[in-house]
Structure 1
Amino acid sequence: MTDKTVLTERNGRIATLRLNRPAAMNALTADMLSLLGDELEAIAGDKGISVVVLTGEGRAFTAGVDLKALRDSGQDLTEGNVGDALNGAARWVQQLIERMPQCVIAKVNGFCFTGGVELMLACDIIIAAEEAKFGDTHAMIGLRPTWGMTQRLGRKVGMQRARELSFTARTITGVEAAAYGLAMEAVPLAQLDSRVDELAQAIAKNSPGSIAAYKDLYRKSENAGLDAGLAYEYETKYEIADVRERMAEILKRLGG
């Protein structure tokens, strides 16, 4: 049994990153987030990887910030802010997830609360177990979001639903998460691994350069108005090294 808090596994063109503090529900510390960032940064530069799957060991994706560690850190919480160490590491991880050329799939296997939801929202695609539990508990704890909850959640579920989830701090299931648009889909926990692997394999067989371009363009689309997004799509140049090879293969299949 390893005591490493983030485990990395490579299988062909797919890398799986597993948060590994199961006894603590994979609760997040600054050191753990920094290690996750290091692993993501290494993968971002690996041209042999096309898809990253982010998940958790045991019964949780992640329960969010480790409240015991936060309490013991001496951080002044009177403004509801978890502090620079956690904020800096978490925001770095989110930026890596959003800007790395690989598609990042969040495989939400269990409990996913607050900071865990914020990490998940940075991913490209979210697949949840039906049995998973989600919640934004900032208001329950007396904290305020600093990792982008108010900017990303409403884009997924709409502003009224985002407000309701944040104001009530209620827990929802994976089924509800999919119905609200928080997750792309929910499947029984017993089928989660196979469904995510199927999706990852389908993505990994396509052009890495195309996926990288799409990822950047979709990110721009989410963060810009329509006119600016259309101009960016038309004007931005990408290097897609395998286009001739792939086109020739398709034409051969078509008999051209």
Structure 2
Amino acid sequence: MEYHDIIVEEKEAISIITLNRPASLNALTPLMIVELKHALTAIAKRADIKVVVVKGAGRAFSAGVDLKALNEGIQGGQFKASDILQDGNDIAHILRTMPQPGIVLVHGYCYTGATELMLFFDLIVAAENAKIGDTHTKWGILPKWGMTQRLPKLVGLLKAKELSFTAKPITGKEAESIGLVNRAVPLEKLEETAFELAHEILQNSAQTIAAMKHLYNEGFSKTLEEGLAIEQEFLTEITDRAEFLKNFEKNK
């Protein structure tokens, strides 16, 4: 598939996807969401890719869903409103179930649908001066990509309500302080920090990481007892264990 609204590259065992509508602050079009879904589906099947990194070109990660493009596409009969809703939720499912950890880089604006997209990822690295917000209430639009369920699980119910009810964005630095992102760093260090994190992940067993990602995700919404049962009952074969144990013996 040829991509128009995203760029897909590879570096070592890392797949890098760039949202590529910088003139529109990478506002999310139905085409961009379809392309992102296609790219992630292909990456999920590849054993040679160990980490996925998604970022935005230009001055922002994404200003949110492009309502103009969405309305024009619906009026022109190119797609239905339900299409982008389903495709977005498909992306959430792919990122949740793919074996590779997904890292998202956030800088500039990250609003509403883009914030929901951000919450799909395993790890989030933000610029300290990024503006992250949920503006659904500002426009009279209800979230359909999981904002009301994912956000309170990360920051707590009271803070999630405050962010949504006020529609007031917070900085990347504030987001780090409330547990919304893993790390907030100066903008000029954003990519360096994210790729250092990716390379740290590459040093470890990809199979074990995939299994632990599954266990974390499956147990997150369960009680402790239910989660412990999931962990005890989960069976998978880690075939690269011998290689890592051999390296451990060498480096002792």
Q: So what's the TM-score if we normalise by structure 1? A: 0.93
Q: 1: CA distance between counterparts of 2:131 and 2:188? A: 16
Matched, 1:36 2:36: yes
- Over the residues paired in the alignment, what is the CA RMSD in angstroms? 1.5
SS across alignment from 2:49: coil
SS across alignment from 2:214: helix
Identity, in percent, stands at 45
What is the CA deviation profile of residues 140-188 of structure 1, one whole-angstrom value per residue up to 9, with x for unaligned ones?
0110011000000001110000000000100111111111111111000
Give 1:32 shift: 1.1
2:157 to 159, 169, 184: 159
Matched, 1:248 2:243: no
Q: Following superposition, which runs of at least 4 residues in structure 1 exceed 2 angstroms of deviation?
A: 70-75, 251-254
Which ranges in structure 2 are unaligned for 5 or more consecutive residues? none
Match for residue 51 of structure 1? 51
Where do 1:8-27 residues align within 5 Å?
Answer: 8-27=8-27
Q: 2: CA distance between counterparts of 1:38 and 1:109? A: 24
Give 1:74 shift: 4.5
Give 1:63 shift: 1.1
Which ranges in structure 1 are unaligned for 5 or more consecutive residues? 76-81
**What is the identity, as a one-letter code, of the residue corresponding to 2:91?**
V
Give 1:62 shift: 1.1
Q: 2: CA distance between counterparts of 1:237 and 1:126? A: 29
Give 1:73 shift: 3.9
Give 1:85 shift: 1.1
Does the 8 Å CA contact 2:138/2:167 hold for their aligned counterparts? yes
Matched, 1:213 2:211: yes
SS across alignment from 2:103: strand
Q: 2: CA distance between counterparts of 1:176 and 1:86? A: 30
**What is the identity, as a one-letter code, of the residue corresponding to 1:24?**
S
Match for residue 127 of structure 2? 129
SS across alignment from 2:55: strand
Where do 1:87-126 residues align within 5 Å?
Answer: 87-126=85-124
SS across alignment from 1:106: strand
Match for residue 224 of structure 1? 222
Q: 2: CA distance between counterparts of 1:239 and 1:39? A: 27
SS across alignment from 2:231: helix
Aligned length: 247
Q: 2: CA distance between counterparts of 1:200 and 1:74? A: 39
Does the 8 Å CA contact 1:13/1:51 hold for their aligned counterparts? yes
Does the 8 Å CA contact 1:209/1:238 hold for their aligned counterparts? no
SS across alignment from 1:18: strand
Q: So what's the TM-score if we normalise by structure 2? A: 0.94
Does the 8 Å CA contact 2:30/2:70 hold for their aligned counterparts? no
Does the 8 Å CA contact 1:37/1:92 hold for their aligned counterparts? yes
Match for residue 171 of structure 1? 169
What is the CA deviation profile of residues 182-211 of structure 1, one whole-angstrom value per residue up to 9, with x for unaligned ones?
111100000111111110000012111011
Label 1:3 to 1:97 Cα distance change in 2 as closer, same or farther (>3 A).
closer
Q: 1: CA distance between counterparts of 2:91 and 2:24? A: 20
Q: 2: CA distance between counterparts of 1:239 and 1:223? A: 25
Does the 8 Å CA contact 1:7/1:18 hold for their aligned counterparts? yes
Q: 2: CA distance between counterparts of 1:13 and 1:83? A: 36
Give 1:3 shift: 7.3
Does the 8 Å CA contact 1:105/1:126 hold for their aligned counterparts? yes
